[in-house]
Amino acid sequence: MDERTRAIRNLCEPIGANVYFAPEAHANYAKLGLAGYGPGYFCSRGASLGKPSGLVVTSAFGVFSPAIVVPAVEEGWSKTEPAPLLQARYDGAVASLRRLLGDPDAKHAGRAVELLRRGLDAAEGAGHVIFSGLKSLPFPADPVGQLWRCCDMLREHRGDSHITVWTKALVKPIEIQLMSELQMGIPLKTYSATRGWTAEQMDAAIEGMRAKGWMDGAAFSPEGRAFRERIESETDEMEVPVVDAIGRDLDELLDILRPWAATIVKAGIAGGGYPGYASAISGLARGRR
């Protein structure tokens, strides 16, 4: 475990992921004709890749069932194009952050962006599809937009790394999703259902995980818990160049980001969608790295 990579993940996650729960973003998608959560989410997050098909989005996002991704993407691209959707996403994210945080201190925001960009400049692009898509976009001029873009990029880089690790370990998408529920201590089959997996698919996957020795009843086996933690630790390893590039200034960056991340989680934006993050941020706020 590299505590540095997890610390920066825990603090950038709420800032970057606020867009997925921001009413401002969803209102913008609705203006483009996208009804419901799916088309706006899948197409806006995937739009930095151009106009990807549903199967490409399924592959890039990793943990979703194609049964919900493919029709949502087809519907989304029948209503809008990548450029206006990327603008709607950006505008919604920035408006949401300003509502939650006000106008962050310009000196602190500028320093956070400087340090994050230093780390992101050292991040590997090969094999990191969504990260590379975001990197290809023009960098925002607005300070809040810059902060959000950096956190979104860091979040997606780790996500791309994570997919690389668990697919190498021959873990299936539904299995890693169920493992993450066990790891975060949330009710089994609840979060996974939001990823489009049916009860029958989840039950079959759980039986398969028991047969592999990863689960004992409805919980991790000791072997399964160690295996899941190894996946996370190997993900940490892939993110080490980012924190190494930030270097001795990492603590300064974490101190700048911590109150913003805590405010967002307290407001229920990221905390409501990512079980376990509220406690992670709480621990960091008490000084635990």
Q: What is the pLDDT of residues 39-89, one digit of tens each?
A: 999 999 999 999 999 999 999 999 999 999 999 999 999 999 999 999 999
CB of 218 closer than 8 Å to CB of 188: yes
pLDDT at 186 over 90: no
What is the per-residue pLDDT for 268? 75
Q: Is 105 left (phi over 0), alpha (psi -120 to 50) or beta?
A: beta
Nearest to 18 by CA among 97, 131, 88, 87: 97
Ranges of H-type helices in the chain: 3-17, 23-31, 37-46, 54-61, 66-79, 82-101, 106-121, 129-135, 143-168, 173-184, 199-211, 222-246, 250-266, 270-273, 277-285
pLDDT at 282 over 80: no
The rounded mean pLDDT for the chain is 93
SS percent in the chain: helix, strand, coil, step 5: 75, 0, 25
Nearest to 24 by CA among 79, 94, 78: 94
DSSP tag of 100: H
pLDDT at 270 over 60: no
Q: Which amino acid is at 129?
A: V
Q: Is 287 left (phi over 0), alpha (psi -120 to 50) or beta?
A: left
pTM of this structure:
0.93
- pLDDT band for 95, please (50, 70, 90 cuts): very high
Cβ neighbors of 230 (< 8 A, separation 6 or more) are none
pLDDT tens digit string along 196-214? 999 999 999 999 999 999 9
**For 182, how many CA atoms within 13 A lie in the half-sphere containing its CB?**
23
What is the per-residue pLDDT for 185? 87
d(CA 192, CA 199): 9
What is the per-residue pLDDT for 173? 97
Three-class HEC string of 127-150: CCHHHHHHHCCCCCCCHHHHHHHH
What tokens were used for 181?
């529920």
d(CA 205, CA 63): 13
What is the per-residue pLDDT for 284? 44
CB of 205 closer than 8 Å to CB of 174: yes
CB of 21 closer than 8 Å to CB of 272: yes
